[in-house]
A and B are shown apart, each in its own frame.
Chain A
């Protein structure tokens, strides 16, 4: 049985004006468990708090009810008061008789009656309160960044600069991501490589950063502050630490007809390759599906020409286990497949290309060494049609496209159009669009330059069909403003393909128990106030894995994620919220229902041996809640049929007691 003290605050006349505080204090005296009840002008004042402290000592109180303003106002205050007097802070409950009583009711009798009932409900609850202690867990001061594009690079650099070790896991042989493939960047038209590659070098040289390239995350266990991650380092058959990246092996490799992924298959590479000149790490990689030595055991030329002796055909996949305190997801995006968009003849003509392919065609390091030549016959195209929103904002074609706006296409298309007109003023450039969206600093100015200075022909309307005919592409389109059909003989058609999250994101989200939206973009903890955190504690979001983003936005989000990570890693211990879910294992069915509603992935299952009611022993699957991860929403408690799951601080029995007290 509790020994409860009730403290009714007047709040000057704020409460006492409409509530007869003496009557309330008197009425609550006879409630079960109440051994002391009083009222005072300002309970939150030092003098008021002293009354509470003294009463705790004098009457050996175990529980406190303060009838005062909203708990959102002073719950923390009174909890501290209680703790200072030696009782558990969670033994305090507040009856809100100001905001929810005296301030909204005018009549003294009504206000008093309601205040008494609210007080009774608080007393009923405190009778069932139990002391709660927030759990503590240590923090591993190391971060993992999954994905080595500009998002991952920026996040890693910022965390590393704050003094914490960071590992980057990148599936490709080099970091750099999509940005490394770009030519120029909007709206400033500076070259992507010129601003990206120094950052890549910074990463390589930063003592706090390790790069696991050509690697992927195999398994993630644990929780915020304490993740156990297994990284699979795929065999690249080149000793990374020895290879100097001289490229001798690449030159001599006889297998030279392998489609070059970096140039999106528009030219070839060798079986042993370095994706591009500024790759980081600048280390060769052997493609096991292409290498004769690995496939048939014949060749071995690269090994012979490697003066460093870095080639190792026997290399195996390596598994690295590491502990991390925080994980940043920066898995990025990909353009969607154009296979299903037959109307644009992407599969039929080499001269229908995606915007990313166009980037490579205009890039000095690309397959055409920066000359704009169309892929089919390497001739200079004189008429180019850009088609916007291919697969974006595509509510009606959900099976092949995306409902959302891909956000970056308007701007890069403006950039492409402008660059073409700048370099090749004899080229006619059409851009077909639904809307032109340019919300960003200097974005609209940029777009207007394309139209006004560079004479790009923007047509509001969509391309209906592209038909290859001879060496031309017949483009059928509608001009919605002029309300007429257009027929254009184009030499090159560029499709602004929608972007989608990288395919690796979904399995990764499962491993992280991080939630995703229906488009497989990671969900933020709060769309406005916590945009770089996943609802799963300790997991942060950087870049386009959270939604379509351009480079400036990605970089700012990457730094924001880094600052959140730093804020976490700087702590030695994490103190949790003690009002978390906790299962009664004896009643748990192990049915996974609670796990399915938990937005935080706080619930896992364990097989444990139990003595059953009939004294037989059985191994049962039972839920385990990680208090460091649980945020205490209580969704699981209602999902749980057997009532095995309860929420500390808001136990079913406590809420029922409140209901009963109110309905008495």
Chain B
């Protein structure tokens, strides 16, 4: 384990930024935090719970895939993808780090999403232990330990220092570059902090939420539950929950005619939208109930069914704080028998 003093934080950032674009949590100028490209003058913000999750780095909100031009009966194709640059994201919470695993299981299995894969290859994640979980946090429900975040490099921030531990080759390599600015250290301070975090975890209001009633094989029971009607009753059908969610991965592919050619791009889609998965024949989910149900069935049943029991929720709490009508996965899980 290596550490460096907070007094050299900007030097460390500057060092990292020499070889790669560095993103750190910073203010979004509206009371929230967002991952911001580091440059001299960008202040590191303690708030790890960014409004949007860091999934954007690998799976951006919109992304150009290709361009084509049609002249008469000829069609010309252009690869317009931007070369992925090396980048480092600093300060990712344990829950958000976990979300990358969930996305990997979607985008990196055959057929591999090369756009996503390229970004994954070029990105290094420095996580950070979460010392201030909010009341909306329930990562524990999904066996995520905020005190031991994964990532290429795990990090802990104490009052005076930041401790770093590399977990992957990419992490090792980056850490090696920081040799001069960091020093080898023991794990005592980190363990003390971990202890403190675990104590808070025991006090969290949602600590009793369990996944026992969910997972693969529960499709029919849950799909036909009468609770969905009530739960989805006042859903507005907006995309807030899906767009702040670190694991939501649905996208739409659209064409944009610029007048000089057609850009084919993809953008996030939301199962809450009325046009979600609308196809030539029509819409497969006609009511908000069905769309609402889809989101939670996907996270709690379908995904684990196909991914060795792993749920596609990491308990980050974003949807709890952002839903306009305060309807969320916790309420859904509780209604469907998810509390101890």
Contact A30 B288 (CB under 8 A): no
Contact A614 B71 (CB under 8 A): no
- Report Cα–Cα, A32/B75, bound state, in Å: 13
Contact B259 A663 (CB under 8 A): yes
- Report Cα–Cα, A661/B72, bound state, in Å: 16
- Report Cα–Cα, A663/B257, bound state, in Å: 12
Contact B274 A30 (CB under 8 A): no
Contact B287 A660 (CB under 8 A): no
CB of A621 to closest CB in B, whole Å: 21
Contact A613 B283 (CB under 8 A): yes
- Report Cα–Cα, A614/B293, bound state, in Å: 14
- Report Cα–Cα, A613/B275, bound state, in Å: 10
Contact A613 B259 (CB under 8 A): no
Q: Which residue of A lies closest to B259 (CB)?
A: A664
Contact A30 B286 (CB under 8 A): no
Residues in A neighbouring B70, C-beta threshold 8 A: 32
Given known pairs A660-B259, A663-B259, A664-B259, the reply for A613 and B286 (CB within 8 Å) is yes
Residues in A neighbouring B71, C-beta threshold 8 A: 30
Count chain A CB atoms within 10 A of each CB in B287, B288, B289 and give the residue with the most: B287
- Report Cα–Cα, A445/B185, bound state, in Å: 116
Q: Which of A611-664 contact B (CB under 8 A)?
A: 613-616, 660-661, 663-664
Residues in B neighbouring A616, C-beta threshold 8 A: 287
- Report Cα–Cα, A30/B70, bound state, in Å: 10
Please pick, from B72, B257, B259, B287, the residue contacting A614 in the complex, using a CB distance under 8 A. Answer: B287
- Report Cα–Cα, A664/B262, bound state, in Å: 12
- Report Cα–Cα, A660/B274, bound state, in Å: 28
Residues in A neighbouring B286, C-beta threshold 8 A: 613-615
Q: Does B260 sit at the interface, judged by CB under 8 A? A: yes
Residues in A neighbouring B287, C-beta threshold 8 A: 613-616
Interface residues on A, range: 10 to 19
Q: Which residue of B lies closest to A663 (CB)?
A: B259
Residues in B neighbouring A660, C-beta threshold 8 A: 257, 259
CB of B254 to closest CB in A, whole Å: 17
Q: Which residue of A lies closest to B291 (CB)?
A: A614
Residues in B neighbouring A663, C-beta threshold 8 A: 259
CB of A36 to closest CB in B, whole Å: 14
Count chain A CB atoms within 10 A of each CB in B260, B274, B286 and give the residue with the most: B286
- Report Cα–Cα, A307/B72, bound state, in Å: 94
Contact B260 A613 (CB under 8 A): no
Q: Which of B90-124 contact A (CB under 8 A)?
A: none
Q: Which residue of A lies closest to B71 (CB)?
A: A30
Contact A30 B259 (CB under 8 A): no
Q: Which residue of A lies closest to B257 (CB)?
A: A660
Please pick, from B72, B274, B289, the residue contacting A613 in the complex, using a CB distance under 8 A. Answer: B274
Q: Which of B256-303 contact A (CB under 8 A)?
A: 257, 259-260, 274, 283, 286-289
CB of A615 to closest CB in B, whole Å: 6
- Report Cα–Cα, A32/B70, bound state, in Å: 9
Q: Which residue of A lies closest to B72 (CB)?
A: A30
Q: Which residue of B lies closest to A615 (CB)?
A: B286
CB of A157 to closest CB in B, whole Å: 62
Residues in B neighbouring A613, C-beta threshold 8 A: 274, 283, 286-287
Q: Which residue of B lies closest to A660 (CB)?
A: B259
Count chain A CB atoms within 10 A of each CB in B259, B260, B289 and give the residue with the most: B259
Contact B260 A614 (CB under 8 A): no
- Report Cα–Cα, A660/B72, bound state, in Å: 19
Contact B260 A664 (CB under 8 A): yes
Q: Which residue of A lies closest to B287 (CB)?
A: A614
Residues in B neighbouring A615, C-beta threshold 8 A: 286-287
Q: Which residue of A lies closest to B286 (CB)?
A: A614
CB of A296 to closest CB in B, whole Å: 64
CB of A561 to closest CB in B, whole Å: 52
Residues in B neighbouring A30, C-beta threshold 8 A: 71-72
- Report Cα–Cα, A660/B262, bound state, in Å: 13
- Report Cα–Cα, A448/B257, bound state, in Å: 76
Q: Which of A9-35 contact B (CB under 8 A)?
A: 30, 32
> 6 shortest A-B CB distances, which residue pairs?
A614-B287, A664-B259, A614-B286, A615-B286, A660-B259, A30-B72
10 contacts between A and B (CB under 8 A): A30-B71, A613-B283, A613-B286, A613-B287, A614-B286, A614-B287, A616-B287, A660-B257, A661-B259, A663-B259
- Having A30-B72, A615-B286, A664-B260, one finds 4 other A-B pairs with CB under 8 Å, namely A614-B288, A615-B287, A661-B259, A664-B259
